[in-house]
């Protein structure tokens, strides 16, 4: 895993978020950050780019 999420999302075109062995979300960084489920289980409510 990469703990520098902001930096990682800044340099990629597409992300895949895996949670409990299943793909929770895949898409552009802006879509990932805006996804409620991703924010709940991975990023947290206060995360911003």
Domain boundaries, the chain: 5-43
| pTM of the model as a whole | 0.78
Instruction: Look up residue 49 and give its DSSP letter.
Output: -
Give the tens place of pLDDT for each residue, 1-49: 556 898 999 999 999 999 999 999 999 999 999 999 999 999 998 888 8
Give alpha helix (H) positions in 1-49.
5-11, 29-34, 36-38
Cα distance between residue 19 and residue 36, in whole Å? 14
pLDDT, residue 3, reads 67
């Amino acid at each position: 895993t990469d703990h520098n999420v902001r930096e990682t999302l800044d340099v990629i075109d597409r992300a895949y978020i895996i949670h409990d062995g299943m793909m929770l979300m895949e898409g552009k960084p802006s879509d990932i950050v805006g996804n409620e489920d991703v924010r709940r289980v991975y990023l947290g409510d206060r995360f911003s780019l």
